[in-house]
Amino acid sequence: MGRDSAVYQRRRAPTARELADIPWLHLLEPGMRERAVAGVVVSQAHAGDYVCRTGRPVTFWFGIVDGLLKMTVDNAQGDAVTITGLPPGGWFGEGTALKREPYRYNVQALRKSLVAGLPVDTFHWLLDHSIAFNRFVMNQLNERLGQFVAAREIDRLHDPDTRVALSLALLFNPVLYPGVRQVLRITQQELAYLVGLSRQRVNESLANLQAQGAIRVEYGGVRVLDLRALRSHHLGEMRGP
């Protein structure tokens, strides 16, 4: 949300309902919560809008209240490589905010999304004064590390069903994305962008995973019926029948 971006220009104060969807606010003591709320802004990001871009200075710690974002990096050929999707409830960029370094990745809206931002100076003030906030950020960093290791593993897999299964499992992480719960609002085309497969192949994989009882495809989204089965899908593939 650079100060010259359309997303920044659309910023406003959050409503009480939007504040209630920020998972770390209720962990703070009243005085600290009051200071945090005073700094939080929200903004609409339209499809294609960048929330942050490679090389830009860090100004906010970001969260997604509603919608869907994708995190990408540019490879040596200048092509965007998707690292992960960012569904509701997720807060991201804490590593960059901690080091106050320029972004090394892009975050872009896949569809109209509501994004929240906590100013980086307030982020550091909370780190200096709140043990509960520190624990939240440490949990975020730990889960994020595991997520990136899993994403690296997914990139090396050739079986489409396993790629889709593990990618869905990452998006249903209850620590990183508490707003998702049992149903992820995502289209097959959006999932195809995140997984790196065609929409038709993702459709086939979803049908196979539904037949196995791991998920149920619903109107406008996917309901997970067996998260453990999604997470261990690659083990089943290796074991075979």
Residue type, 241: P
Q: What is the pLDDT of residue 41?
A: 97
Residues 119 and 190 placed together within one structural domain of the fold: no
In a structure prediction context, what are the per-residue pLDDT tens digits for the chain, which is 241 residues long? 666 688 989 999 999 999 999 999 999 999 999 999 999 999 999 999 999 999 999 999 999 999 999 998 877 666 777 888 999 999 999 999 999 999 999 999 999 999 999 999 999 999 999 999 999 999 999 888 887 777 677 667 678 898 899 889 889 988 899 888 889 999 999 999 888 889 999 999 999 999 999 999 998 899 999 988 888 875 444 334 4
Q: What is the pLDDT of residue 230?
A: 87
Residues 100 and 142 placed together within one structural domain of the fold: yes
Which residues are bridge partners to 41 per DSSP?
A: 117
Residues 126 and 80 placed together within one structural domain of the fold: yes
Residues 144 and 167 placed together within one structural domain of the fold: no
Residues 28 and 145 placed together within one structural domain of the fold: yes
Domain count for the chain: 2
- For helices 120-129 and 131-155, the axis angle rounded to 10 degrees is 120
Which of 121, 151, 181 terminates a domain? The answer is 151
Handedness of CA 205, 210, 213, 214 (dihedral sign): positive
For residue 235, tell me if it sits in a domain: yes
Kind of pairing, strands 221-224 and 183-184?
antiparallel
Question: Phi-psi bin for 94: left (phi > 0), alpha (psi -120 to 50), beta?
Answer: alpha
Which of 151, 169, 185 terminates a domain? The answer is 151
Residues 18 and 130 placed together within one structural domain of the fold: yes
Q: What CATH number does residue 214 fall under?
A: 1.10.10.10
Residues 42 and 143 placed together within one structural domain of the fold: yes
Residues 71 and 179 placed together within one structural domain of the fold: no
For residue 24, tell me if it sits in a domain: yes
Q: What is the pLDDT of residue 76?
A: 64
SS (H, E, C) 99-138: HCCCCCCEEEECCCEEEEEEEHHHHHHHHHHCHHHHHHHH
Which of 127, 151, 175 terminates a domain? The answer is 151
Q: What CATH number does residue 58 fall under?
A: 2.60.120.10
Question: What one-character DSSP code corresponds to residue 240?
Answer: -
Find the helix or strand (DSSP H, E) in which 79 lies: none
Domain residues for the domain of 21 are 6-151
